[in-house]
Structure 1
Amino acid sequence: MSLRDKKIIISATLAVLLLIVFLGGYWTLEKEGLTLIVKGEEIKVHSFKNSIKEVLLENNIEYDDDDEISPSVDTKLEDYMTIKVVDVNVKQLTEYEDIEYETKIIEDNNLEKGKTKIEQDGENGKKELSYKLTYHDGELVDKALVSEAISKDVVDKVVKKGIKEEVIVASRGESSRSGNGMKVVATAYAGDGITSTGTVPKWGTIAVDPSVIPYGTKVYIPQFGMTFVAEDCGGAIKGNKIDIFMGSESEAYSWGRRTIDIVIN
């Protein structure tokens, strides 16, 4: 074999080796089967880049610090990798809610029982609610309450309810008698002694709770058709109770315990 032929064979061999090295490097550096998911759409690519950040730049994929990228942008690129870019937007929203007023009932002893009077009209208040809205690829994924404040105060409705009882009853020698009526539990007593006000008890004397019916008050009892005087008290006479002095113990025993109407004049 001549020297010239040898040179030709060596050159051809070197060329083949260089081609093999080149192709091997090409296949090694190129990342195949890459999938980019951007705004829900899949894009198939291949790249010679080394990181996710570089392949996104290579394919003109824009993103900002709020966006979510997985794996992270600094991750080394590998074959058949799926890279997802989620466009994240944050917005503010303000809403208003009504605060319903309450109705407060106040008893009024200057207003006749069964009657009502609106003292103050009610008015709803308003509450201001601030929300943070988070969108992923245009879809709302979170609505978080950031703050709330009263923008308008509630005005409660106030209604007065009458509790005053007006009683008109027939009486002896008079066509009618009026005053403040009330219902009481009445018992009876008898015997000798002195009342709490220093008088001698007689028919027409009643024992009372002075905090409810003061001493000296004239009390008309329709059942007897006469007016009694509050002159005495007793340990068991508390609240809406009275004790009527009777002429004898048998009368007191016969009376027992009854619920009656009285009129305080």
Structure 2
Amino acid sequence: MKNLFPPSLSRKKLVIFIASFLVFTVTLGFSFYEGTKKTVALTLNGQDKVVQTHAQTVEEVLKELGLTINSNDYLFPSVKTKVKDNFEIVWKQAKQVDIVKDNEKKTVWTTADTVAELLKEQKISLIEQDDISAKPEDPISDKMSIEINKALYLTFIDGSKKAQKVWSTSATVADFLTQQGITLKKLDRVEPSLQEKIEQNAVIKVIRVEKVTDVVEEPINFAVVTKKDTNLAKGKEKIVKEGKQGLKTKKFEVVLENGKEVSRKLVSEKTVREKEDKVVALGTRVLVAQVSRGSMPSGGKEFYVSSTAYTAGCNGCSGITATGINLRANPNVKVIAVDPRIIPLGTKVYVEGYGYAIAADKGSAIKGYKIDVFFPNLSDAYRWGNRKVKIKILN
């Protein structure tokens, strides 16, 4: 091909042409490249930002911004969504939070902004009496720890005081008493034990225990000492010396629970005043009426009575008269049983056909003007039978 330009001119123009062409091409390409950018509005952890990007997907946009996405993060739309012009992306980074509820730890990821939102998200409801380490309006931060102690409804009884209904977030009985400001003395007892874990509707009792000393005065009863006296008729008594009670003190250790006595232990005993025994003389002299076969003596009151006979061994007989005469030991004694309203006991009498005797006995069947005469043997009693006799009072 023939060169139309002079050698020196054509070479210079060619260089200028090529350079101009390259500038035009680059300018045109750059304009085209810039014209393909998309405007994307981002909300990153609550902060708004607008960027121009050639990224094709949400994931590419975030990578351009140097952001690493965690599966627990909130992202809308999803990472594979294609980006268009005037596109919106919302991303909220999840934070790790430890929730310790009633001493049980749980680690969660959350995009909640406040503690209140997190509790709602975790379906944790609180009442006024519950204890939480953070305020509901506190913002959530990464690696945050929130401690929750749920309140329990309890019945508390302190000693003899009236039962109280209380709320408590204590874990053990010991913690509860500390929370309530309860001080235990050395002997006090707690039910259940201090180490016991508290459960809903539990009943906690403080039994107030104390030991006291009780001194009691007690009388010492005197004894009755009897002495035989031959000068007194048998059955008669005579006080020789009056008795006097003694006095002693007893010291007891008493255990009280809630003010009520539950045990009593004798510690010591001391005699303050000695007793003095009562002395009684008992008559032993037997009054024996002598048998007389003579006629009725003169003088004295006379009247007729119906009479029967008995022996010391009769059915229901003890052998001892109402005045103390032992008929078995004195078989020859002359004794009649009388109604004391008619003939007083101890009265000396003369019974027609029987002789001199003493009214020394009585019986349930002897009523009114009736007597029962004593015989030492059954045959004599049968021979006497039932008869009407005259009796004379001698004294």
TM-score scaled by structure 2? 0.36
- Aligned 1:1-265 pairs, distance under 5 A: 2=40, 4-8=42-46, 9-11=91-93, 14-16=110-112, 19=115, 20=118, 24=124, 26=132, 28-38=148-158, 39-47=161-169, 49-109=170-230, 111-113=231-233, 118-138=239-259, 140-147=260-267, 149=269, 151=271, 152-163=273-284
What is the alpha-carbon distance in structure 2 between the residues aligned to residue 92 and residue 62 of structure 1?
A: 24
Question: Per-residue CA shift, 1:175-226, capped at 9, x if unaligned?
Answer: xxxxxxxx9779xxxxxxxxxxxxxxxxxxxxxxxxxxxxxxxxxxxxxxxx
Q: Deviations over 1:55-102 (max 9, x none)?
A: 211111122232221111111233333212122233221111222212
Structure possessing the higher radius of gyration over alpha carbons: 2
Aligned-partner Cα distance in 1 for 2:41–2:154: 51
TM-score by length of 1: 0.50
Q: Give the structure with the higher percent strand.
A: 1
Deviations 1:123-162 (A, max 9, x none): 1122323334333333x24252424635133221112334
Partners of 2:237 and 2:201 in 1: CA distance? 81
Per the alignment, do residues 71 and 143 of structure 1 end up closer, same or farther by CA in structure 2, a change over 3 Å counting? closer
2:154 alignment partner AA = L
Does the C-alpha gap of structure 1 residues 21 and 102 become closer, same or farther in structure 2, counting only changes over 3 Å? Answer: same
Residues 34 and 184 of structure 1, relative CA distance in 2, 3 Å threshold: closer
SS at match of 1:95: strand
Give the secondary structure class of the aligned counterpart of 2:45. helix
Let me know the Cα RMSD of the aligned residues.
3.9
Return the alpha-carbon distance in structure 2 between the equivalents of residues 36 and 185 of structure 1: 84
**Structure having greater relative contact order (Cα 8 Å, sep ≥ 6):** 1
Number of residue pairs matched by the alignment: 171
- 5+ unaligned residues in a row in structure 1: which ranges? 170-182, 187-265
Gaps of 5+ in 2: 1-38, 47-90, 96-109, 125-130, 133-146, 291-328, 333-395
Offset, 1:12: 7.8
Q: 1:74 to 1:185 in 2, by over 3 A?
A: closer
Identity of aligned residues (%): 19
Q: Which amino acid aligns with 2:166?
A: K
Cα pair distance change 1:18/1:146, threshold 3 Å:
farther
Helix, strand or coil: the match of 1:53? Answer: helix
